[in-house]
Amino acid sequence: MDENTRLLQYDMDWETFQRVLYYTKKYYGMDAPYFYEAIPFQKEEFVTIFFRTEILLFDRLFDEDKTIAKYIEPIADDEREMLLWVFKFLDCAFLRAEIKEQAEGDDFSDLMDIGEYYHQTMRRELLELYLFCQETPVRSKMTNEVILTINKGVKNFHRKITIPNYSNWMLRSALLHYCEEHLGDIHSVEEARAALKSYQKAGRTSSNPIADCIIYGTYSMLKDVTKDSKVTSTRLCKIITCFLYYLEMISEDEAVDEQLVAGRIKYMLKMDKKPRFIPMSYSEMNEAERAAFEAELHRPLHNPRFDDLL
């Protein structure tokens, strides 16, 4: 955290805190420990949170920006106030994560769903490897030398090995079978190419798992509270874009182009992706609570088919 960052502190009563948590848990997967050092199942009189003063500039957009004001017009005043607190809470969560990372070295991205990380990054790599295995010519009953290099240029971590790869067993069998096992919906080169093409058409924004959690959560929340029937709208995307800018997740140039966020939303909807953070108290949930949480996601929290990838 920059030493010049100015913070505001606020003592929120327990009832209001729980109302805000309803939104953060439902749309982002963020429970109480994201925002304060919660004692499990203990009710507090007040909860103290802090956030950057800059987030107040974002709040002002709800009144001062005509485009945004028009979009949120259908929202009741009390619910609009809750939404503004949701944005402050998210800012608080990122500040706390930054402070913790500086103190302990923990990465905020560790709180991403492991299955979501697979879909964001590793699936594309497996598709590329699958095509490489399928399309590489095989010299039958001969060596097909493979040179594996990892961490090239990184001292102490660089390793290299040369494998004779007789009859191309690595690509023809070992790696190909591994790809097939973890790409259950891919059964041909044509399907793999089509899947890769969908990544390339996913919009101009680069994949950022943390930003995607914010984009999808905010998109879902605003769609619900405004009863917006459009798939995406410029007004909705403008709110998300402005928020990403205040969270310093996009540059000033990107903040004036709502289509970047629109492209990301369309991609996530097409791929049926619902990125969320893992509740910090997940390990403390009982069996019924875990089942309810996983049912809300419409998919297992951890996809066992992909656990070995990490």
Mean pLDDT of 279-305: 55
Per-residue confidence at 228, pLDDT binned at 50, 70, 90?
A: confident
Q: pLDDT confidence of 302, banded at 50, 70, 90? A: very low
Q: Is 9 a residue whose pLDDT tops 80?
A: yes
Burial of 122 by CB count in 10 Å (0-12 exposed, 13-18 middle, 19+ buried)?
Answer: middle
Domain ranges within the chain, ordered by starting residue: 7-111+204-279, 115-200
Residues written for the chain: 310
What is the rounded average pLDDT of the residues 171-184? 91
Report pLDDT for 301.
40
The token pair that represents 245 in the structure block: 């800018």
Arithmetic mean of pLDDT, 89-97: 90
Evaluate if residue 43 carries a pLDDT over 70.
yes
Mean pLDDT of the chain: 82
Any residues with CB less than 8 A from the CB of 17 and at least 6 apart, and which? 32, 44, 47
| Rounded average pLDDT over 116-130 | 78
Task: Say how far apart CA 220 and CA 222 lie, in whole Å.
Answer: 6
Geometric angle at alpha carbon 301, from 297 and 303, rounded to 5°: 120
The two structure tokens encoding residue 57: 């500039």
pLDDT (0 to 100) of residue 290: 58
> With 70 as the cut, is the pLDDT of residue 218 above it?
yes
The rounded distance, in Å, linking the Cα atoms of 8 and 51 is: 5
Region 198-214: mean pLDDT is: 67
CA pair distance 173, 177, nearest whole angstrom: 6
H-only helix segments in the chain:
14-28, 55-64, 66-71, 77-104, 114-117, 123-135, 169, 176-182, 189-200, 209-226, 234-246, 258-270, 287-297
pLDDT at 118 over 90: no
d(CA 243, CA 1): 18
- Comparing 182-191, 204-213, 230-239, the range with the smallest average pLDDT is 204-213
Q: What is the pLDDT of residue 42?
A: 66
Kindly report, residue by residue over 135-173, the tens digit of the pLDDT: 999 999 999 999 999 988 777 788 999 999 999 999 999
Q: Which residues contact 179 (CB under 8 A, 6 or more apart)?
A: 126, 129, 130, 133
Q: What is the pTM of this model?
A: 0.65
Q: Is the torsion defined by CA of 272, 190, 177, 135 positive or negative?
A: negative
Task: Report the SS3 class of residue 4.
Answer: coil
Q: What count of other Cβ atoms lies within 10 Å of the Cβ of residue 84?
A: 15
Residue pointed to by tokens 């990380």: 117
Structure confidence at residue 119 as a pLDDT band (50, 70, 90): low
Residue pair 59/83 in contact (Cβ under 8 Å)? The answer is no
